[in-house]
């Protein structure tokens, strides 16, 4: 299901994070943001199977069923960078993955989702779990692919703000009266 | 811009360029007084601000090491980040949302109005609303607060529409787009709000009042201001007569300098201000400067806070437009029948997807959390902000071991909620949820407090020198040429967002300092 092999080297620049390779995917939105149909993750410190295991662990900790693996890979990318700059983190992650494998009866990545959930549940709150969760709570939601997925539009500066782009377009409730909510200056 | 000599002992030194310090510096310069404004942070601009939550957080936040203790939830969720405030020219006014409300008459005399309350260090302010009214008027004009001085209100965004619909169904009478220090039309050389929705990230249009885009440039035009960014004040010097004589600060390269001064005004926000006084202890003031009352660092207040976000059937897109232009003021009265004294405001609030993940339920994980995050585009949100009670044990102290990059002891912020705070929060959660239910919410999310954005009370003003640190003009009881010029002065917190009152006090203090200087009293 998940191929970490590098098929084409391209950078996808997202805020604060660089995903090596290209993004892909089932979802149309992501392919608009991504330069090609396949993507891969280049790791500098961790090996491929560790990266893969961490991605699956992140999917268990913050499960969004329809959010593409490419976005979860950004979390792995950040964990890998942290591991590359700090040996203690590298050890925490590799030991943690070893524990995942042990608890899953040998092969975490090959275990059923139910089994994986049970293993993660047991680890909740430990340092390894918290390292992943703490990284993911930022990385997973801090990139343009995630914003597209969740429908968050973010920066409107380049478009002149939301003044003419729907800041008050909600139409399923009555509009407040003018004394509570005067009309906009530019719209006058 | 002026450049004063380090040995010039005729200047007034202001520490911190935020709401208090930036305003005070400008007001003094307008009167022809020579000011050295020392600011720990860098100078950004509308151009350099970024509309991206985490990048902006890294750009302007105060991230020097701090710790926290106590039973408050922030202490658990964000132990190393007790407060969410800024280190940049303009201070937290670069970050603030602009809600600008006057305090109510009774909020200046809560000891009288609420009575003594177990566990609370109640005290009346040494001044009244009447004393402040002319200065409030000046502050509102300076800041261009909407719904004052014929400045029209801001247009309501989607988030406001939801709040308004629910508030009306519930029978609330006072709901509108707020009194905001954000230009609803061009004013004072700045343009109108373009509804970017990144008010917390510095406002790239300059529509929002901040000392960075108003007070400081105006002060620079007088030729009296010597602004020194990246100048972190470490210590205030005191001579044998008891007067303060200058400050020691570290520049961008960590080199230390001593700037002499005729008077010193501290406006580092309510954690750094007491920290600086405590760190300036000497044989004359062994417990820290201006601390004969023992109240420096004590009575730390942060407002009762919490948020309600609600998920709706249809999209809201709450992030579009001003972050906080929406308010219900009906609950800000003091009505002890509700089970607590004091009141609270309900204000629209939106945070982007990145911050929502961090704040919705800190520490949470799993399907229940992600299910909520999935509703992000259909969420409306409000912030609950009310009066918390001063408690002597809620305090900023110097850490016994940890030191910052300059070798200065780091601050620890200790906070326990008072029972009254908890009762008020529960009430506010209930009312906030009822508003969204009335507007058709599918589910409400009760969100715990963020790291403190309103930090108050740690050098409070008092009529009697034994109850507090400074007098009604912010002049310390112990040292006539040392002033407190930020929210640390607040005797109590009131329900309203504090900045309008901080600016008001700074304008008033400038008059007082000018008079004291001309009378050679200091
Ligand atoms: C996200 C957010 C939203 C907010 N929204 C609102 C709102 O809508 N309405 C409202 O009323 N308030 C709001 N506030 C609060 C408001 O920003 C503060 O009340 C106000 O800015 C405090 O003013 P101050 O002068 O005490 O401190 P600040 O504005 O924080 O300024 C202090 C300055 O001092 C500098 N400093 C500190 N120590 C030193 C030192 N030792 N040497 C040199 N410099 C130093 C700091 O770097 C900083 O620049 C908000 C705050 C935040 C964070
Ligand atoms: S919404 Fe208005 S005030 Fe807020 S950042 Fe945009 S222009 Fe500035």
Please give the tally of structural domains in chain A: 1
**Percentage, residues of chain B above pLDDT 90:** 100
Average pLDDT of the residues in B301-330: 98
Give dist(CA B187, CA B166) in Å, integer: 33
Residue B107 CA, ligand 1 centroid: distance in Å: 22
In a domain, A75, yes or no: yes
In a domain, A3, yes or no: no
Among the partner-chain residues A152, A157, A181, the one whose CB lies closest to the CB of B319 is A152
**Encoded tokens for A92:** 């925490």
Pairing relationship of beta strands B344-348 and B379-386 according to DSSP bridges: antiparallel
B76-91: pLDDT as tens digits: 999 999 999 999 999 9
Q: Closest ligand to B139 CA? A: 1
B490-520: pLDDT as tens digits: 999 999 999 999 999 999 999 999 999 999 9
Our CA-based measurement puts residue A48 at a distance from the nearest CA of chain B, in whole angstroms, of 25
Pairing relationship of beta strands B67-69 and B304-311 according to DSSP bridges: unpaired
CB A75 within 8 A of CB B357: no
B100-150: pLDDT as tens digits: 999 999 999 999 999 999 999 999 999 999 999 999 999 999 999 999 999
| B 186-205: CB under 8 A from A | 186, 192-198, 204-205
* CA B202 to ligand 2: nearest atom: 5
| Residue nearest atom 4 of ligand 2, based on CA coordinates | B199
Which residue in B has a C-alpha nearest to residue A182's C-alpha? B155
Residue B196 CA, ligand 2 centroid: distance in Å: 5
Q: Which residues of A124-157 are buried (b: 16+ CB within 10 A; e: fewer)?
A: eeeebbbbbbebbbbbbbbbbbbbbbbebbbbbb
**Domain extent for A75:** 8-154
CA atoms within 13 A on the CB side of B184: 24
Our CA-based measurement puts residue B504 at a distance from the nearest CA of chain A, in whole angstroms, of 26
Give me the residue label for tokens 């190393």: B80
Which residue in A has a C-alpha nearest to residue B359's C-alpha? A137
Among the partner-chain residues A62, A155, A160, the one whose CB lies closest to the CB of B194 is A160
Residues of A in Cβ contact (< 8 Å) with B169: none
In a domain, A183, yes or no: no
Among the partner-chain residues B52, B53, B161, the one whose CB lies closest to the CB of A170 is B161
pLDDT band at B1 (very low <50, low <70, confident <90, very high): confident
**Encoded tokens for A155:** 């920066």
Asked if B314 is an interface residue toward chain A (Cβ–Cβ < 8 A), one would say yes
CA atoms within 13 A on the CB side of A49: 11
Cβ–Cβ of A180/B177 closer than 8 Å?
yes
Decide whether any atom of ligand 1 lies within 6 Å of the B40 Cβ.
yes
Residues of A in Cβ contact (< 8 Å) with B352: 152, 154
pLDDT band at B424 (very low <50, low <70, confident <90, very high): very high
Give me the residue label for tokens 């149909």: A37
A167-187: pLDDT as tens digits: 999 999 999 999 999 999 864
- Give yes or no for residue B230 having a pLDDT over 80: yes
C-alpha distances (whole Å) from B370 to each of A65, A90, B290, B357, B375 are 9, 27, 50, 9, 9
DSSP string, B251-274: -TTS-EEEEE-SEEEE-SHHHHHH
Question: Residue A160 has what pLDDT?
Answer: 86
A123-159: pLDDT as tens digits: 999 999 999 999 999 999 999 999 999 999 999 888 8
Give dist(CA B345, CA B347) in Å, integer: 6
B197-216: pLDDT as tens digits: 999 999 999 999 999 999 99
Query: Does this model's pTM top 0.90?
Result: yes
Q: Minimal CA–CA distance to B263: which of B7, B514, B509, B12? A: B12
Q: Which residues of B408-431 are buried (b: 16+ CB within 10 A; e: fewer)?
A: bbbbbbbbebbebbebbbebbbeb
Question: Residue A158 has what pLDDT?
Answer: 85
Average pLDDT of the residues in B416-437: 98
Asked if B491 is an interface residue toward chain A (Cβ–Cβ < 8 A), one would say no
From B179, B180, B195, the mutation candidate for ligand 2 (largest count of ligand atoms within 8 A of CB) is B195
| B 347-366: CB under 8 A from A | 352-354, 356-358, 365-366
A29-83: pLDDT as tens digits: 444 454 344 567 789 999 999 999 999 999 999 999 999 999 999 999 999 999 9
Decide whether any atom of ligand 1 lies within 6 Å of the B19 Cβ.
yes
In a domain, A52, yes or no: yes
- Give yes or no for residue A24 having a pLDDT over 80: no
Which residue in B has a C-alpha nearest to residue A129's C-alpha? B365
In a domain, A167, yes or no: no
Asked if B3 is an interface residue toward chain A (Cβ–Cβ < 8 A), one would say no
Q: Closest ligand to B57 CA? A: 1
pLDDT band at A4 (very low <50, low <70, confident <90, very high): very low
In a domain, A178, yes or no: no
Residue B182 CA, ligand 2 centroid: distance in Å: 7
In a domain, A62, yes or no: yes
**Interface mutation vs chain B, best among A64, A67, A123, A157, most B CBs within 10 Å:** A157
Give dist(CA A92, CA A108) in Å, integer: 17
Which residue in A has a C-alpha nearest to residue B52's C-alpha? A155
* Average pLDDT of chain B to the nearest whole number: 97
Spatial neighbors of B120 by CB under 8 A, at least 6 apart, are B389, B390, B391, B418, B420
Question: Residue A15 has what pLDDT?
Answer: 33
Partnered with residue B403 across adjacent β-strands are: B409
Our CA-based measurement puts residue B112 at a distance from the nearest CA of chain A, in whole angstroms, of 34
* CA B206 to ligand 2: nearest atom: 8
Q: Residues enclosing ligand 2, CB less than 6 A?
A: A 161; B 182, 193-199, 203, 205, 207-208, 321-322
Residue B32 CA, ligand 2 centroid: distance in Å: 33
Give the helix, strand, coil percentages of chain A, each rounded to 5: 45, 5, 50
ipTM above 0.90, yes or no: yes
Give dist(CA B67, CA B75) in Å, integer: 8
| Residue nearest atom 47 of ligand 1, based on CA coordinates | B87
In a domain, A68, yes or no: yes
């Amino acid at each position: 299901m998940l191929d970490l092999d590098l098929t084409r080297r391209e950078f996808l620049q997202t805020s604060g994070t660089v995903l090596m390779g290209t993004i892909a995917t089932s979802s149309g939105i992501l392919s608009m943001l991504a330069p090609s149909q396949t993507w891969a993750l280049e790791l500098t410190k961790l090996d491929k199977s560790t990266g893969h295991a961490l991605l699956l662990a992140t999917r268990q900790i913050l499960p969004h069923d329809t959010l593409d693996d490419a976005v979860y890979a950004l979390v792995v990318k950040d964990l890998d960078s942290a591991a590359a700059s700090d040996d203690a983190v590298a050890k925490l992650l590799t030991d943690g993955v070893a524990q995942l494998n042990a608890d899953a009866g040998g092969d975490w990545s090959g275990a059923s989702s139910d089994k994986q959930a049970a293993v993660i549940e047991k680890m909740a709150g430990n340092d390894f779990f918290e390292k992943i969760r703490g990284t993911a709570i930022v990385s997973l939601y801090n990139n343009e692919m995630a914003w597209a997925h969740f429908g968050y539009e973010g920066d409107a500066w380049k478009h002149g703000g939301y003044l003419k782009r729907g800041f008050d377009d909600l139409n399923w409730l009555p509009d407040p009266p003018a004394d509570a909510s005067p009309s906009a200056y530019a719209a006058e | 811009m002026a450049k004063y000599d380090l040995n010039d002992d005729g200047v007034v030194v202001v520490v911190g360029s935020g709401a208090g310090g930036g305003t005070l510096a400008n007001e003094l310069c307008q009167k022809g007084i020579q000011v050295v404004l020392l600011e720990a942070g860098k100078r950004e601009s509308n151009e350099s601000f970024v509309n991206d939550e985490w990048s902006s957080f890294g750009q302007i936040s105060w991230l020097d090491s701090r710790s926290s203790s106590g039973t408050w939830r922030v202490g658990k969720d964000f132990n190393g980040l007790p407060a969410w405030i800024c280190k940049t020219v303009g201070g937290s006014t670069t970050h603030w949302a602009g809600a600008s409300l006057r305090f109510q008459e009774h909020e200046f005399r809560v000891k009288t109005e609420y009575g003594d309350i177990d566990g609370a260090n109640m005290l009346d302010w040494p001044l009244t609303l009447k004393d402040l009214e002319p200065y409030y008027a000046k502050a509102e004009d300076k800041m261009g607060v909407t719904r004052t001085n014929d400045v029209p209100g801001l247009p309501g965004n989607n988030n406001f529409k939801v709040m308004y619909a629910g508030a009306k169904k519930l029978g609330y009478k006072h709901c509108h787009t707020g009194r905001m220090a954000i230009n609803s039309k061009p004013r004072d050389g700045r343009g109108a709000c373009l509804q970017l929705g990144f008010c917390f990230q510095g406002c790239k249009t300059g529509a929002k009042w901040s000392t960075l885009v108003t007070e400081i440039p105006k002060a620079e035009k007088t030729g009296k201001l010597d602004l020194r960014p990246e100048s972190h004040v470490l210590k205030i010097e005191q001579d044998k007569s008891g007067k303060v004589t200058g400050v020691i600060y570290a520049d961008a390269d960590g080199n230390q300098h001593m700037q002499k001064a005729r008077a010193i005004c501290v406006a580092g926000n309510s954690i750094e201000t007491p920290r600086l006084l405590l760190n300036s202890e000497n044989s004359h003031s062994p417990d820290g400067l201006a601390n004969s009352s023992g109240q420096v660092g004590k009575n730390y207040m942060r407002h009762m806070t919490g948020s309600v976000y609600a998920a709706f059937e249809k999209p809201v897109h709450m992030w579009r437009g001003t972050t906080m232009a929406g308010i219900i003021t009906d609950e800000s009265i003091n009505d002890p029948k509700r089970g607590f004294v004091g009141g609270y405001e309900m204000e629209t609030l939106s945070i982007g997807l990145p911050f929502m993940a961090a704040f919705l339920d800190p520490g949470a994980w799993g399907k229940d959390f992600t299910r909520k995050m999935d509703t992000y585009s259909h969420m409306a949100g409000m912030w609950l902000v009310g009066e918390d009670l001063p408690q002597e044990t809620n305090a900023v102290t110097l850490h016994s071991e940890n030191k910052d990059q300059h070798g200065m002891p780091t601050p620890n912020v200790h906070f326990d909620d008072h029972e009254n705070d908890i009762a008020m929060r529960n009430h506010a959660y209930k009312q906030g949820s009822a508003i969204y239910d009335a507007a058709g919410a599918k589910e409400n999310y009760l969100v715990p407090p963020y790291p403190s954005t309103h930090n108050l009370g740690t050098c409070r003003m008092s009529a009697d020198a034994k109850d507090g640190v400074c007098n009604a003009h912010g002049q310390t009881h112990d040292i006539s040429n040392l002033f407190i010029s930020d929210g640390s002065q607040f005797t109590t917190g009131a329900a309203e967002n504090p900045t309008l009152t901080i600016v008001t006090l700074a304008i008033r203090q400038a008059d007082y300092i000018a008079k004291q200087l001309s009378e050679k009293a200091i």
